[in-house]
Structure 1
């Protein structure tokens, strides 16, 4: 989902969902209907826990993730940083592979946001 500040304001004003503000996205996880939340797939939540598992968050793969234009600047910066790291000549193959996967996730988020 994308839009300007007015769209974001209207969205927040008209919806009745619990919204968690994050640094790189907003999460619209619905505690009453958690189906589809990537953070809960194949996860064991602590007893009594309700809500998303933030440490398992995958904004590039979760339909609950909302990327605003302000967030997109951070994602593009992350993409730039990863591309610079991947240009390092003596980077170990396992680290290069890990950075490549991370870059793919970042580019998926950017692509998702640009499509809206």
Structure 2
């Protein structure tokens, strides 16, 4: 695994922990199909949450929360539908797309932000 992949996996681990601390149940990580990948799939009560995780080092590139463009949001909606179709249909609480941004400063603890319903 390269450095970028390791950084992404580290951020996804922090994101999964953040979601669990918020009371969600993580059911899958890095779910793949021909159309792409969902970083984290979780349950928030009876709602399915498809979560995109973006990890950045402090001072490099844009803030992680700015990384979900309209094109990326549409792709996430499509992937969410693919997951639902392959797992028995829509959940009673609907489907929500969240974003977890992980910012790794040069010093100190990572900053983990969770935004609900971004797409």
TM-score strictly above 0.5:
no
Normalising to structure 1: TM-score of the pair? 0.30
Higher strand share: 2
Higher helix share: 1
Normalising to structure 2: TM-score of the pair? 0.29
